[in-house]
Amino acid sequence: ATMSLHDPISRKRVLETDEISNKKRNTMTDDQFSEQMYSAYVKSALMSLEKDDPLQINTITDKINLPIGNPEAVTLSHLSIVLKVLASNTSRLDNQPCHNMIFAILRYRWMDHKDHEGYSMFVEIYSHFLIALVSTLPKYLHEVTNKLIGEFYSSELIHHHNILQKIMKYIPTSINTIPQLLQKNFPHHISSSTSELTNYVNNLVTIVSYCPELQFSIWQLIFECSIKLDVELQNELDDLEDEEIEELINGKEDDEELLEESSSDSEEEDDEDSEDEDNNGDGDDNDDDDDDDDNEGEIEWVVNSTTSIKALSAKLDSIISLLLTSTNNSFTVDELNNGNGVNLFNTINSLFKSHVLPTHFTKSIQFVLFHITQYQPELADSYLVLLIDVAFNPSEILEKRLKAMQYLSSYIARAKNLSRHQVVFIVSYLVGWLNKFILEREQEVDTNSNKQTGGMERFKLFYVAFQALLYIFCFRHESLTTPEQNWECDLDKFFQRAILTKFNPLKFCDETVVYIFAKIATKLNVCYCYSIIEHNKRERMLQTNGSATLPSAVGNFKQKQEFLDLEGYFPFDPLVLPNSKKIVCENYIEWSEVNPEVDDDDEDSASHGSDEDM
């Protein structure tokens, strides 16, 4: 028989249940009760799913997918409950409806809640869910790591790194997939802003701190990006004078504006266009006028070029200064002794050889090597050995050898922390090699055009090595005398002999270097070059006038623009990037510090002795 609704036993049970429920309500807040209810709802959704009813799970997924500002979107507290329940039930998530929900969670813009009151607790829960998910279902490893790395364009990502660190701990093989994701998510060097690029590089450097196994691949990515920026910047600066470059890069614009230059819209460019076009009459009103169109094209190019130079320099400066500051404690004696410093140095040194050295005339990224090698004498020795090994290795391609020689001369000239012994050793090495070259190959030079076989191009390496010695002498002459006031390596006798050889090196070396060397050598009574320089000048004039009797190969060699460019390339010429320059300047020799002609009354010599010319 059915029990009556008024049955006293039944009524007593209902009252007891209500009392228990009310007691529970009285001991928790409305929010807590709501959370408990929502938690029960999510658990119920998982149970329904096991009975092939995905409706509730799909409803939750739809709410997560809605934009954060949408009134129907899931709240932060409800999403936290979903994540807690899912983290405790990861083994039940391997199905299509849950797969959709997981992807909705991974797409969720969790960083947009930074100002929310419960954000820190939410981030902890979100982090716990991601770790639990990949631990139970490793097939989501790629998606989870890709999400974390894809957000490296932001700063202060301690939770991202904590999650990655735990993932690497629980799934050691995950390290193998990370380099590819780091490369894939690397912001484009042109279209991204300075802050995005810098944050990304900073986050990469942070990864190395807890995962040294990724050190080489991470530094390689950073170097590759820096080289692209460096080359792009030099292409833009090629046609500008040094004063123009400095004024442009160190302009009055606020640094923050520069940081975002490259990602700014064309509105800014339009504003600048209109300012520049104020002096062009009403060219804008005459679209059919070809001259006006040309003028507009020129103005637009100037504006775009200016914007591009500022953006590129801001990005490159930011990255290089970050690399310099982040490694300032990496090469102490303790760090070198425990192996960490040596590993990092070997990584950077190796990337210099494989990436920087073969690249066409970079101007900035090499200063990372310039700076860190001066922390310890052993690091400078190691760098010098690398340069010598490339420059004097017959199995290396010629262009790389020539470039290494330029690096060698520029480094010895400019690196302030080098010891006198290191400078003298390189000078001695160069003198020995040049002497041997002259002895073995001078007979190959013949001014008779009928006997010319291959021209002076065969001796490119000799001329670059000789120029390296001239350049080092200009900067380091004070370090090259013995206590008895004699010249190290008998430099005076060497120069006196070498400039008179059939190679005629003063003719084929960079004119500015030759000129400044001649001034210093005369003043210090090392050798006298002016009669040879004048003779070479007369020969050139004859050649230009078409009256030359010189073999064509000798003339053609000097006309080779590629070689002229190389001779005029000094890798450690003064940096134009303001922040990086401040860091590097403490161990950098300016030409004005060592120029013995600084007090000379001859204005011409002073102009030739400027740092820009050297």
Read off the DSSP letter of residue 173. Answer: G
State the average pLDDT over residues 263-279: 43
- 40 forms beta bridges with none
3-state secondary structure 52-64: CCCHHHHHHHHHH
Least confident of 119-123, 141-145, 245-249, 316-320: 245-249
Q: How confident is the model at residue 69 (pLDDT cuts 50, 70, 90)?
A: confident
Least confident of 263-267, 316-320, 451-455: 263-267
Give the DSSP H/E element, type plus range, for residue 533.
helix 530-544
* Two tokens, residue 422: 């290191």
Q: What is the tens place of the pLDDT at every residue in 576-614?
A: 999 999 999 999 999 999 988 755 544 444 334 445 557
- 485 forms beta bridges with none
Q: Has residue 268 been placed in a domain? A: no
Output the pLDDT for position 296: 52
Q: What is the tens place of the pLDDT at every residue in 304-339?
A: 678 889 999 999 999 999 999 999 999 999 999 999
The CA angle 223-226-229, to the nearest 5 degrees, is 155
Q: Is the pLDDT of residue 130 over 80?
A: yes
Instruction: Give the C-alpha distances (Å, rounded to integers) separating 50 from 38, 40, 44, 56, 314.
Output: 19, 16, 10, 12, 56
Q: What is the tens place of the pLDDT at every residue in 345-386?
A: 999 999 999 999 999 889 999 999 999 999 999 999 999 999
Torsion sign over Cα 248, 251, 253, 258: positive
Output the pLDDT for position 11: 43
Q: Has residue 75 been placed in a domain? A: yes
User: Are the C-beta atoms of 473 and 481 separated by less than 8 Å?
Assistant: no
Q: Has residue 488 been placed in a domain? A: yes
Q: Is the pLDDT of residue 283 over 60?
A: no
Q: At what angle do helices 290-326 and 242-249 cross, to 10 degrees?
A: 70
Output the pLDDT for position 446: 74
User: Are the C-beta atoms of 387 and 404 separated by less than 8 Å?
Assistant: yes
State how many domains the chain has: 2
- 588 forms beta bridges with 415
Among the three residues 106, 136, 166, which one is the final residue of a domain in this structure? 136
Among the three residues 87, 120, 136, which one is the final residue of a domain in this structure? 136
Q: Has residue 168 been placed in a domain? A: no
Output the pLDDT for position 562: 61
The CA angle 516-517-518, to the nearest 5 degrees, is 90
Q: How many CB atoms lie within 10 A of CB 53?
A: 13
Least confident of 333-337, 472-476, 544-548: 544-548
Q: Is the pLDDT of residue 504 over 80?
A: yes
Q: Is the pLDDT of residue 9 over 80?
A: no
- 487 forms beta bridges with 481
State the average pLDDT over residues 381-397: 97
- CA–CA separation, 490 vs 3, rounded Å? 122
Q: How many CB atoms lie within 10 A of CB 187?
A: 21
Q: Is the pLDDT of residue 141 over 90?
A: yes
Instruction: Give the C-alpha distances (Å, rounded to integers) separating 32 from 25, 41, 77.
Output: 9, 14, 10
The CA angle 495-498-502, to the nearest 5 degrees, is 155
Among the three residues 101, 136, 171, which one is the final residue of a domain in this structure? 136
* Two tokens, residue 503: 């190679």
Question: In the chain, what is the greatest distance between 2 CA atoms, to the nearest angstrom?
Answer: 132
Nearest to 102, CA basis, from 132, 72, 67:
132
- CA–CA separation, 188 vs 584, rounded Å? 27
Q: How confident is the model at residue 436 (pLDDT cuts 50, 70, 90)?
A: very high
Q: Has residue 434 been placed in a domain? A: yes
User: Are the C-beta atoms of 519 and 598 separated by less than 8 Å?
Assistant: no
Output the pLDDT for position 21: 47
Least confident of 211-215, 341-345, 510-514, 560-564: 560-564
State the average pLDDT over residues 236-253: 73
Residue 16 vs residue 237, higher pLDDT: 237
State the average pLDDT over residues 213-224: 98
Q: Has residue 160 been placed in a domain? A: no
Residue 29 vs residue 605, higher pLDDT: 29
Instruction: Give the C-alpha distances (Å, rounded to integers) separating 600 from 247, 318, 369, 609.
Output: 28, 39, 35, 11
The type of residue at 540 is R
Q: What percent of the chain has pLDDT over 70?
A: 78
User: Are the C-beta atoms of 490 and 540 separated by less than 8 Å?
Assistant: no
DSSP string, 67-129: -TT-TTSPPHHHHHHHHHHHHHTGGG--SHHHHHHHHHHHHS-GGGGTTSTTHHHHHHHHHHH
Long-range pairs, 312-315, Cβ under 8 A, ≥24: 312/229, 312/232, 312/233, 312/236, 312/262, 313/233, 313/249, 313/258, 313/576, 313/577, 314/194, 314/255, 314/258, 314/259, 314/261, 315/189, 315/194, 315/197, 315/198, 315/229, 315/262
Q: Is the pLDDT of residue 494 over 60?
A: yes
Segments forming the whole domain that contains residue 76: 12-136
Nearest to 374, CA basis, from 120, 195, 589, 200:
589
Q: Has residue 197 been placed in a domain? A: no
Q: How confident is the model at residue 567 (pLDDT cuts 50, 70, 90)?
A: confident
- CA–CA separation, 112 vs 119, rounded Å? 10
Residue 200 vs residue 485, higher pLDDT: 200
Q: Has residue 2 been placed in a domain? A: no
Nearest to 70, CA basis, from 109, 27, 33:
109
Q: How confident is the model at residue 561 (pLDDT cuts 50, 70, 90)?
A: low
Output the pLDDT for position 611: 57
361: left (phi over 0), alpha (psi -120 to 50) or beta: left
Per-chain mean pLDDT for the chain: 84
Least confident of 39-43, 248-252, 329-333, 342-346: 248-252
Least confident of 180-184, 296-300, 492-496: 296-300
